């Protein structure tokens, strides 16, 4: 069965990433994973691209997901933010027009929230 959509999972914590991958597969999505901004940007630029994304806000090494969010915004690809850090985000992150899901959250709920935003897969409805 063809996947309903390709979902980018940006997450620097491997266990959380794996949990999200499984949940994405359960939802019939094709997950592509990245643990840094450059990895995520590569994935986005890969032919075929992605339909929707889940972005962990604070990544390792003081990096945050802003460059990826901006690139997705430019391409008109929907995404949700997934973060444990709700009040310290710098202003540019706070201004992003995206749903924010507080960690810890159920991985299935996170994926469901993401594909609900994805028009290409009709919000996950078949």
Partner 1 sequence: MSTDDESEPKFGQQALMRFDDAPDRFRAGDKGDRFSGASGVLFEQAMAQTRMAICLSDPHTPDHPIVFANRAFRQLTGYGEEEVLGRNCRFLQGPRTDPEPVARIREAIANEDVVVVEMLNYRKNGTTFWNALHLGPIYNDAGELVYFFGSQWDVSDVRAARAEEQHAREMARELSHRMKNMFAVISGIVNVTGRMRGIQSEAAEINARIQALGRAYETTLDDASSGNIDIGGAIRAVLAPYDQAAGRLALEGEDAPMPFAIISIVGMILHEMSANATKHGAWTVPDGRVRVSWEASGEDATLVIRWEESGGPAVDAQRIEAGTGTAIVDRMLATARGRIEREWKESGLTATITVPAHAI
Its sign, for the CA torsion 48, 119, 80, 23, is negative
Stretch that binds partner 1, among 46-54, 68-76, 96-104, 117-125 (CB under 8 A): 96-104
88 binds partner 1 (CB under 8 A): yes
65: helix, strand or coil: coil
Q: Quote the CA–CA distance of 52 and 3 in Å, as a whole number.
A: 13
**Please, what is the Cα angle at 16 between 38 and 3, to 5 degrees?**
75
Instruction: In angstroms, give the least distance from the CB of 82 to partner 1.
Output: 9
13 or 30, CB closer to partner 1?
13
Q: Quote the CA–CA distance of 8 and 6 in Å, as a whole number.
A: 7
x/- string (CB under 8 A) for partner 1, residues 35-74?
Answer: -----------------------x----------------
20 or 115, CB closer to partner 1?
20
Q: Quote the CA–CA distance of 105 and 52 in Å, as a whole number.
A: 18
Which tokens belong to 121? Answer: 């897969």
94 binds partner 1 (CB under 8 A): no
Near partner 1 in 3-42, by CB under 8 A: 13, 15-16, 18-19, 22-23
**Which residue ranges make up the site for partner 1 (CB under 8 A)?**
13, 15-16, 18-19, 22-23, 58, 84-88, 102-107
């Amino acid at each position: 069965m063809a996947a309903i959509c390709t979902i980018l999972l940006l997450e620097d914590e491997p266990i959380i990433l794996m949990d999200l991958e499984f949940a994405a597969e359960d939802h019939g999505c094709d997950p592509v994973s990245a643990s840094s901004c450059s990895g995520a940007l590569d994935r986005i630029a890969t032919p075929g691209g992605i339909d929707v994304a889940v972005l962990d806000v604070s990544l390792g090494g003081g990096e945050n997901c802003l460059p990826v969010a901006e690139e997705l915004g430019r391409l008109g690809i929907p995404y949700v933010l997934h973060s444990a850090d709700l009040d310290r985000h710098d202003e540019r992150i706070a201004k992003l027009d995206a749903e924010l899901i507080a960690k810890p959250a159920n991985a299935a709920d996170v994926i469901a929230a993401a594909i609900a935003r994805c028009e290409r897969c009709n919000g996950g409805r078949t």
